[in-house]
Amino acid sequence: MKQLILILFLFFFSPLSQALTFSKLGGTFLIRGEIEKGDFHAFLKKFAEWERAPTVFEIDSPGGALNEAIEIGSFIRKSQIPVWVWNECSSACVFIYASAVERYVKGKIGLHRPYFDSKYFSSLTSSEAESKYNELKLNASLYLKHAGVKQNIIHKMFSTSSKDIHYISGDDANKEFGVISDFYEEWIISKCGAYTTAEQKVITSIGDLNAARMTAVAMQDQNIDKADDFGSNLEELWNGAQLALELDRNGMLQPYAEKLEKRSRCIDKSTNAHILEWHLVLKENLVEVLEELNTLSR
């Protein structure tokens, strides 16, 4: 682990200061701002301060340096900690979001093709530029494919000029990218089983019911800061909750609720075991690695 982090950092390190900001909100690791050279190093330093691994990474970024984004994304993928996007994740930020084995978008995802620094790229001949860009395209595409990103998303990215941007809504991003990686879903199924199609409908309805009840309570609480559109989906949630409500009225909901709770406990136990082990191994090496990196950057 230590050797891998050091090699990657040596390849991409720049003495420029970072632009991303990192903070902690409960168990959430917040990542904000434009991605610049040096941000992977800063990310590692901030992560080393956590006594326990975060429960989720929440990112809001317009993009920036691709190499730094890929390094952060690769780190997050190994951690198997989920990534959430509540506002925006565009350009190079997409490589962080797509890396996560579990990901969820409430806001939007912005796609356009990666590009080189204009001063560097304009200094090349057209033949050199073609060779360099094809190499960039190949490496970026392979990285996204390894993360399970569909070919149509990769095509849309590279067919959109770096001067333009193609936005994907949260709902569409959750469908197109998926909220869980294929291998990770199969791993969870192997450990904790899966719902039948009929069971999944009830489980989804239970989720809508719980969300509707919590939303309704929160809407009445004047002490909770809420976005302007908070509660706008309440009617949709109540509609989705009708199946669970009907089963509850007929005394048939409890077996489904118990199965949901049992499977949820199994998933939490399985995923937390990996994250805990990964974090312990990482912590043993990260302090020493950062000391070496700080020495090299002086």
- How high is the pLDDT of residue 277? 87
Least confident of 195-209, 225-239, 248-262, 278-292: 278-292
- How high is the pLDDT of residue 169? 96
For residue 49, pLDDT over 50 is answered with yes
Banded pLDDT at 223 (limits 50, 70, 90): confident
As a whole number of angstroms, the distance between CA 45 and CA 22 comes to 10
Strand partners, 23: 30
For residue 173, pLDDT over 90 is answered with yes
Give the pTM. 0.80
As a whole number of angstroms, the distance between CA 73 and CA 95 comes to 6
Homologous superfamily assigned to 2-180: 2-enoyl-CoA Hydratase; Chain A, domain 1 (3.90.226.10)
Averaged pLDDT, 35-64:
93
Banded pLDDT at 296 (limits 50, 70, 90): low
Tell the burial category of 5 from Cβ atoms under 10 Å away from its Cβ (0-12, 13-18, 19+): buried
For residue 238, pLDDT over 90 is answered with yes
Banded pLDDT at 252 (limits 50, 70, 90): very high
The 10s digit of each residue's pLDDT in 113-166 is 999 989 999 999 999 999 999 999 999 999 999 999 999 999 999 999 999 999
Domains of the chain by residue range: 2-180, 187-269
- How high is the pLDDT of residue 219? 86
Map residue 77 onto helix, strand or coil. Answer: helix
Banded pLDDT at 295 (limits 50, 70, 90): low
Averaged pLDDT, 87-111:
97
Name the residue among 13, 109, 3, 116 with its Cα closest to residue 62. 109
The 10s digit of each residue's pLDDT in 131-141 is 999 999 999 99
In angstroms, the Cα distances linking 44 to 22, 49, 72, 213, 288 are 10, 9, 9, 39, 12
